Structure 1
Amino acid sequence: MPARSPVAALFLGLLALPAAAAGPHVASQVPGLQVLRLDHLNPAPAAGPDRAACEHLLLPEPQTPAGKRLAQLGWGVTSEETIGAWTAVSFVSGYSAATSGTCELVDGNVGLFTGDKLEIVVYATDEPAVMIGQIDRFGAAGLRIYSGDLVPQPVADLQAVGADGLVVTPPALSEPVCNGAAQVPYIYGLPIDMARQMLALAGWQPAPPEAVEEFGIAPDLAAAGVPEVESCAGTGFGFCAFTYAGPAGRLSVTTVGEIAEDGSLPPVVGYGASCGTTP
């Protein structure tokens, strides 16, 4: 049996609602993520000394009744969204500060509430429990779960099914952006030279700057056949920015790290669409 995180043990120690009882229907297709119907939430475990260094990753003042209730119980609220008829709130109890203002968010969870009443909780069952850091909108009606790693990555998607169902699924292979006018393929973790090929198939073309910034590895990436590199940080995680133009606007892509000894280019860790921007 896989090891359980302290928060997983906390939730499993509570009384989950019986499957036959009236209420939401839930299921998870993602190993390591459990989803339960639950109507009670305990106070957060002790946060430890690193919480103060990680406060910038938390909402200073949650706006929803659910988020405010979680904050009162000592949980760190990282995001508030809506899905179906519920308020969805991501919240954590563990913090591990690292370099460049980054933190690992540990023992994270997603709670689905009606008002401030908990109905469903999604949590990680295995150690280390960094699978949930925050949530964000995905497509027209879904949510995406991002990890609590130093550089967060997609872990799963949440989808409301019918009037009272919730499914946790693997991340979708593409994301509709700009009100569905364009699609961004799943490029997380791909070297930028491979990611740009997938983007081209989806209609996103490189948009090189007039001049490549000379900091970091930007000149080396341009020489390696990726002229759309805008800039690279010379310190810290070595983030680099790239720009692509498409029918719906522009797409900014971010990579992390250096060019590997075998020549592999840095992997993608994020992107963002600017809709309606003239290519």
Structure 2
Amino acid sequence: MPEAARTSIVVAAAALGFGVLLAMAAPIPNGAQLLRVREPIEAADARLRRLGWQPEQDPPAESFDRELSGNALSSLRACSGTGLGYCRYDYRRGRDRLQVITVPDSNGDGQVVRWSLGPTGKTWGLCQPAPLAPLQPCP
């Protein structure tokens, strides 16, 4: 490979790495503003990654959970096979952890219903105070 091509690749890789470092160094927005209720999980995942959040992939989701979620996002942790059909997606950014909970929309695609930012566990979005209760704003 010509020296100029190698130099271009190294410069591009360095710029990409620097962008990721800048995203990770940026302050975390107010948790309430991090996501939106009813936002498609694929759009939320793309934005979170741009902000420096990385999928927490260990342990990987089971094939049953993948089928229920209807997507191939690596942040998927698990899905409930009952009730509203909740799915959980986990992310990390440095020492910070983020859990995103979705429910299927009318097409079966996951939409964000609530999220929590650890370690405080503060939750935003819509919560279900009891198993048969309707969703309502989280306290």
Instruction: Structure 2 unaligned segments of length 5 or more: list them.
Output: 1-25, 121-139
Q: Which residue pairs with 1:224 in the alignment?
A: 71
| Counterpart pick for 1:267 among 82, 102, 111 | 111
Structure showing greater radius of gyration is 1
Q: How far apart are residue 225 of structure 1 and its match?
A: 2.5
Q: Sequence identity, in percent?
A: 27
Give the distance between the partners of 2:60 and 2:106, measured in 1 at CA. 21
Q: Which residue pairs with 2:6 in the alignment?
A: none
Read off the aligned partner of 1:247 and give its amino acid letter: G
| Counterpart pick for 1:241 among 88, 92, 95 | 88
The structure carrying a bigger strand percent of its residues is 1
Read off the aligned partner of 2:110 and give its amino acid letter: P
- Provide the TM-score with structure 1 as the length reference: 0.29
Q: Equivalent residue of 2:116, what SS?
A: strand
Q: How far apart are residue 241 of structure 1 and its match?
A: 0.5
- Provide the TM-score with structure 2 as the length reference: 0.55
Give the distance between the partners of 1:221 and 1:182, measured in 2 at CA. 30
Q: How far apart are residue 224 of structure 1 and its match?
A: 2.7
Read off the aligned partner of 2:76 and give its amino acid letter: V
Give the distance between the partners of 1:247 and 1:226, measured in 2 at CA. 20
The structure carrying a bigger helix percent of its residues is 2
Q: How far apart are residue 182 of structure 1 and its match?
A: 1.6
Distance 1:213 1:190, change over 3 A: same
Larger RCO (CA within 8 A; separation ≥ 6): 2
Give the distance between the partners of 2:50 and 2:62, measured in 1 at CA. 27
Q: Which residue pairs with 2:60 in the alignment?
A: 211
Q: How far apart are residue 221 of structure 1 and its match?
A: 6.2
Give the distance between the partners of 1:223 and 1:213, measured in 2 at CA. 13
Q: Which residue pairs with 2:102 in the alignment?
A: 255
Q: Which residue pairs with 1:66 in the alignment?
A: none
- For the aligned residues, what is the CA RMSD? 2.8
Q: Equivalent residue of 1:267, what SS?
A: strand
| Counterpart pick for 1:190 among 34, 39, 52 | 39
Q: How far apart are residue 222 of structure 1 and its match?
A: 7.0
* Equivalences, count: 92
Q: Equivalent residue of 1:194, what SS?
A: helix
